[in-house]
Structure 1
Amino acid sequence: MRKTLLKASVMSIMMGGFFGLQTTFGQSDPSGKKPITSTYAITNATVFANPSSEGSKATVLIKDGVIKGVGNNLTLPAEAKIIAGDSLFIYPGFIDGASNAGIIKQEPPKRPDNFVSSNPPDEIAGITPWKSAIDQFDISSSQVDDLRKMGFTLTQIIPDGGMLSGKTALVVLGEKNSTNLIKENVALNASLNGARGMYPGTTVGVMAKFRDVYKNTQLTKERQATFASNTGISRPELTPTYMGMMDVIDGKIPVIFNVENDLEVRRALSLQKELGFQLILSGLKEYDNVIDLIKSSGTRVLIQLSVPDDKAIKAQKDDTDESVKAQYARVKEAYDKAIAQAAKLEKAGVAFAFTTSGAKTNDLMKSLRTMIEAGLSEKAALAALTTNPASILGVSRFAGSIETGKMANLVISTGPIFQEESQIKHVVVDGNIFDYEIKEKKKNGANGNGNGSVSIVGTWDYNSQTPAGSSGGKFVISKDGSSYSGTITYQDPSGSGQATSPLKDISLSGSTLSFSFDVNAGGMNLTVSVSGDVSGNSMDGSMNITDFGSFPISATLNPTLIANK
């Protein structure tokens, strides 16, 4: 699918931030990719070794991908490259409990000529427990760069597919010339989503099919044991599905069930209680009503690192009738309930972690700060990014905290990590240092409404640089009262010249302009999100498109084509 979209020139409209490695390399290395040293000392930084740490000044010494020391009186080897950390803050590298970053979308298998929708082959029905996420993973994907830029260093990647898409894998988000694989066959990825136009096509059908596969695998295992120890016994049929399910039956790996709401949580827990497999719930978005159930079951939980969009709430007007005000109140109540859920999990004593699957990478830190403002403690937030996922994934021995002997995975920021003004300057992954550009934050003089020092109203000429080359066009923003509207032109993915799409969710927060628009690419509807920093008549930022990551965009406001303010 990805190659098809590339050929259709979708890449020419994909824009967003991309930051590369900026390490000093040896002059004798003709490839220019071999670092001079693998030993680094980040000196006199404020180090938060774990979520309970208050933060203290210390030096962190790393060598060959391992933390060799943390303290104030370390003896630094001569080959160590010194990084002055006096104004920097160091945290353990973030761990993503479940992610599809870098996973290449799979083409659906072709249906056979004798296809029967009531009894399709397992692969066509989305039942492929033998597949592995590592076979679909591309470390060079811009999605990986985007996630790493947010501080994530280690992730459980989940395969693309249907109700039983295959086995997850644990990888570090490190250098492109490494396999980055820590462990295959970590869990079996499952969902309650059925196949289209065939069995199992409903949630009830998926549950029935899961039972069927599970129990037939148990039966196959028993028959296999009988066949191995007796003569005159018919050979059991060892299908890829049953063989792929064996580790779940044997209790060697859990099933990571993707569930969004309280009803799906109940259904997954019901299957677990009935069949007895290990369970991890992942992707939770609406779970307020089942927090007590989750706690009592002792199930491990990965909640989605996202919150509902608040643009509709911010756009509410005072001069409306009572019925509209009542509707506004219900929307606000639902929003407040959603953003407070993580805090309720903490209060209930449920040690949860985060999953970025299904979340917008550019909004991850904003979502986290929103949860904190709604009552989640910073300690619990950091634990959900570090020690909790390390425990859930069974990697606490070498990840999740800053300790001597652990993997050198670090997040280095310009200030306390959850403060809005703070920016991530370095991310250390497996001992490799990735450097990121620090931009001076500018503040708008009038609450971001376009009346202060930042103006977004007018016609903008934009340009982007993507792997498919340079492309450009215009977007026009106008203002009516407190609301913005606009359009954007871009190269039509079908190759028929320029296309136009209306801008949605236009917002100016401080000096940050953001909006989105929809694109149809070969019958596939894609939503593209743009965010950039405005300074004078220029904007620099990124455009993100789901499943493709992000690429740089810059724009200039044409002073001769200013729209009415």
Structure 2
Amino acid sequence: MSIIYKKAYWWTFAVFIGFIITDVAKAQSDNTGERRVTGTYIITNANVAYPSGKIQSNTSILVKNGMITAVGKNIASPSNAHHIKGDSLFIYPGFIDGGSTAGVTKPKDPERPSNFNSASPPDDIAGITPYRNALDYFDLGNAQVSEWRKAGFTMAQILPEGGMLPGQTALVIFGDKTSTNIYSENTALYATFNASRGMYPGTLLGVMAKFRSLYRNAELSSQHSALFASNQGINRPERDKVLEAFYPTLDKSLPILFAVEDDLTVRRALGLQRELGFRMILSGASNVEEIIPILKDSQTAVFLSLKLPEDKISKIKEDEESDFERKERIDRIKSSYTKALEEAGKFEKAGIAFGFSSQGIKSADLMKNIRLMIANGLSEEAALAALTLNPARILGIDRYTGTVEQGKLANLVITTDSLFKEDSQVKYVFADGYLFEYDTKAKKTRSETTDEVDLAGTWTYVARSPQGDSQGQMVIARESNVYTGEITLDNPAGSGQITTAMNNIEYNNNRLRFEFSIDLGGNYLTFSVSGDIDGDEFDGDLSVTDLGSFPFKATKQPGA
């Protein structure tokens, strides 16, 4: 990012939402975890969730120095304990993300040497850096981490950014910024099918050939090193940090986490695993319904992608149904969309215990997507297991986390209602024993009529921040079932206001979501807005990648 772009980025953000990147630790709720007056907490009379799906009511939990020290009824409260009344609250194990890039930045691309040969490029230029560690590029203070913690995630396997072999993953806790929060430094060797642009390996088959070559050479290098260490008269082996990074995968002490996208890449990864024999975990799997039996037979651990395709069905105009060719196309779109929503349920039905990977989605879409999966065949018990116990088992940490039990880490999510209900909100999160508290909105009382409110019209909005409010208006039009709109905001380049299009407008059951972007000299800053409409009032949040989310309220103007 250039210096000019950085200045424009921050200027735009400051103008629009009032310099809200300043410290908000003094707000009413504490989402920083810094309000730790004691290391001892007792939560009383709450509803505690167990892996079977059972909810045990009137249950208390004692947390001390980062551990759960007691779970049950009539627990004596220590004199120094901070008391949280759990009446009507629900307690779940902290969520575990099997593949996250929250807080991880991509390393700077190395410069090409003067004698660069695209047919045989240096490893680091070709994206082959398995010796790197994601921790070297991870910032716990990044706003993305705060947003995912607010969504309920307390641990994550973070992924390095890069090419076909970006580096080693690590397991971190989304706890207090003063702690190390490193649970395990090297949890897997991360591999992708990302080809190198303009050089070898520049194709999917090239990536497979290069991976196969590196793995075989690592086997030979490891054997040579072992012989040199135990015998005289053996030539000293040359050190190669790329090949040495593979050594722990050769005896299966370290798995290879393969990033996959679809049926084809899953088959390619399984083919390499069968040929070379390494231990493998798949991350980000989607569109793989046809090979579920193969995955089950291979007993390969899987983190399914939480990303779902865009709902194009609701945007189709009614008159398009009359055209035969268009109807066939629409049927294909509907079938593809439905298959994506049903995939997690089919994994459950096949008996495959999977986890989730958040890579590629926004935290605001987490529960919406899981509820869609539940509505299309996934049970709530399996959904909870995929967020908690299953990833703990896949990552080998179920002795320490994944359930609410005495002796486990104090990683907890506390919600205002049963987790997957539409109105349920995260009220507290414990991560590593640190308490994070969040403001919750009172449940809205819907108008007596259940008809959807007419969205079209002119709305005035206020984006609120600790440093002040920013105001503007939205003008929304409707044609058939498709909404279009424009939003005005303060001009980041000077005085006055600018108008930009509202994109990806989704409106269903009085729930509104949309995005808009600002052009900063060829670079675009994208804002996302989502919330509920009740009558002439909109109550939601505005979020910006890397910078968090903030209240966004709007009122429809009379007669508009």
TM over 0.5: yes
Q: Please list, as runs of the form range in 1=range in 2, the aligned pairs for 1:109-508 lying within 5 A after superposition.
A: 109-313=110-314, 315-317=316-318, 320-442=322-444, 443=446, 449-451=452-454, 455=455, 457-463=457-463, 465=465, 474-489=473-488, 500-508=499-507
CA contact (8 A) 1:151 1:424 kept: yes
CA contact (8 A) 2:257 2:282 kept: yes
**CA distance, structure 2, for counterparts of residue 496 and residue 292 of structure 1:** 61
CA contact (8 A) 1:305 1:367 kept: yes
CA contact (8 A) 1:493 1:522 kept: no
**CA distance, structure 2, for counterparts of residue 150 and residue 338 of structure 1:** 23
One-letter amino acid of the counterpart of residue 122, structure 2: P
One-letter amino acid of the counterpart of residue 504, structure 1: N
Residue of structure 1 in register with 2:37 after alignment: 36
**CA distance, structure 2, for counterparts of residue 246 and residue 494 of structure 1:** 54
**CA distance, structure 2, for counterparts of residue 79 and residue 4 of structure 1:** 52
Q: CA deviation at 1:420?
A: 0.9
Pair 394,220 (structure 1): closer, same or farther in 2 beyond 3 Å: same
Q: CA deviation at 1:69?
A: 0.5
Q: CA deviation at 1:12?
A: 3.0
- Match of 1:184, SS? strand
- Match of 1:55, SS? strand
- For structure 1, which runs of at least 5 residues remain unmatched after alignment? 26-30
**CA distance, structure 2, for counterparts of residue 210 and residue 11 of structure 1:** 44
Pair 267,12 (structure 1): closer, same or farther in 2 beyond 3 Å: same
CA contact (8 A) 1:378 1:418 kept: yes
Pair 198,419 (structure 1): closer, same or farther in 2 beyond 3 Å: same
CA contact (8 A) 1:98 1:282 kept: yes
Pair 264,4 (structure 1): closer, same or farther in 2 beyond 3 Å: farther
**CA distance, structure 2, for counterparts of residue 216 and residue 407 of structure 1:** 41
Q: CA deviation at 1:525?
A: 5.2
> Any idea what the Cα deviations from partners look like across 1:103-148, whole Å, max 9, x if unmatched?
1233222222222111111111111111111111111111111111
**CA distance, structure 1, for counterparts of residue 127 and residue 262 of structure 2:** 22
One-letter amino acid of the counterpart of residue 343, structure 1: G
Pair 254,37 (structure 1): closer, same or farther in 2 beyond 3 Å: same
CA contact (8 A) 2:317 2:480 kept: no
Tell me the number of residue pairs that the alignment of Structure 1 and Structure 2 aligns. 552
Residue of structure 2 in register with 1:89 after alignment: 90
**CA distance, structure 2, for counterparts of residue 495 and residue 288 of structure 1:** 52
One-letter amino acid of the counterpart of residue 438, structure 1: T
Greater displacement, 365-374 / 537-546: 537-546
**CA distance, structure 2, for counterparts of residue 448 and residue 505 of structure 1:** 22
Pair 5,365 (structure 1): closer, same or farther in 2 beyond 3 Å: farther
Q: CA deviation at 1:539?
A: 4.4
> Any idea what the Cα deviations from partners look like across 1:215-271, whole Å, max 9, x if unmatched?
111111122223333444332221221122222223221111010101110000000
- Match of 2:322, SS? coil
> Any idea what the Cα deviations from partners look like across 1:527-565, whole Å, max 9, x if unmatched?
54221344666645333344x2533253544748x75xx
Q: What percentage of residue pairs aligned between the two structures are identical?
A: 45
Q: CA deviation at 1:307?
A: 2.1
Greater displacement, 83-92 / 305-314: 305-314
Q: CA deviation at 1:156?
A: 0.6
Pair 558,370 (structure 1): closer, same or farther in 2 beyond 3 Å: closer
CA contact (8 A) 2:453 2:533 kept: no
> Any idea what the Cα deviations from partners look like across 1:69-102, whole Å, max 9, x if unmatched?
1111322211112211121111111111111111
- Match of 1:9, SS? helix
Structural RMSD (CA): 3.1
> Any idea what the Cα deviations from partners look like across 1:29-50, whole Å, max 9, x if unmatched?
xx99462211111111111133
**CA distance, structure 1, for counterparts of residue 450 and residue 273 of structure 2:** 50
Pair 476,252 (structure 1): closer, same or farther in 2 beyond 3 Å: same
CA contact (8 A) 1:256 1:282 kept: yes
CA contact (8 A) 2:452 2:510 kept: no
CA contact (8 A) 1:13 1:491 kept: no
- Match of 2:313, SS? helix
> Any idea what the Cα deviations from partners look like across 1:487-509, whole Å, max 9, x if unmatched?
23457778899664322222334
One-letter amino acid of the counterpart of residue 125, structure 1: A
Greater displacement, 86-95 / 457-466: 457-466
Residue of structure 1 in register with 2:8 after alignment: 8
CA contact (8 A) 2:97 2:356 kept: yes
**CA distance, structure 1, for counterparts of residue 357 and residue 308 of structure 2:** 13
CA contact (8 A) 1:21 1:433 kept: no
Q: CA deviation at 1:310?
A: 1.9
Greater displacement, 247-256 / 363-372: 247-256
**CA distance, structure 2, for counterparts of residue 461 and residue 213 of structure 1:** 56
Pair 345,242 (structure 1): closer, same or farther in 2 beyond 3 Å: same
CA contact (8 A) 1:45 1:89 kept: yes
**CA distance, structure 1, for counterparts of residue 3 and residue 429 of structure 2:** 30
**CA distance, structure 1, for counterparts of residue 236 and residue 494 of structure 2:** 56
**CA distance, structure 2, for counterparts of residue 368 and residue 274 of structure 1:** 35
CA contact (8 A) 1:449 1:482 kept: no
> Any idea what the Cα deviations from partners look like across 1:305-341, whole Å, max 9, x if unmatched?
1322224335441663333233222221211111111
Q: Please list, as runs of the form range in 1=range in 2, the aligned pairs for 1:505-520 lying within 5 A after superposition.
A: 505-520=504-519
One-letter amino acid of the counterpart of residue 552, structure 2: S
Residue of structure 2 in register with 1:542 after alignment: 541
CA contact (8 A) 1:281 1:302 kept: yes
- Match of 1:187, SS? strand
**CA distance, structure 2, for counterparts of residue 239 and residue 496 of structure 1:** 58
Q: CA deviation at 1:518?
A: 4.0
CA contact (8 A) 1:155 1:170 kept: yes
> Any idea what the Cα deviations from partners look like across 1:415-454, whole Å, max 9, x if unmatched?
1111112111111111111111111243366667433xxx
CA contact (8 A) 1:51 1:387 kept: no
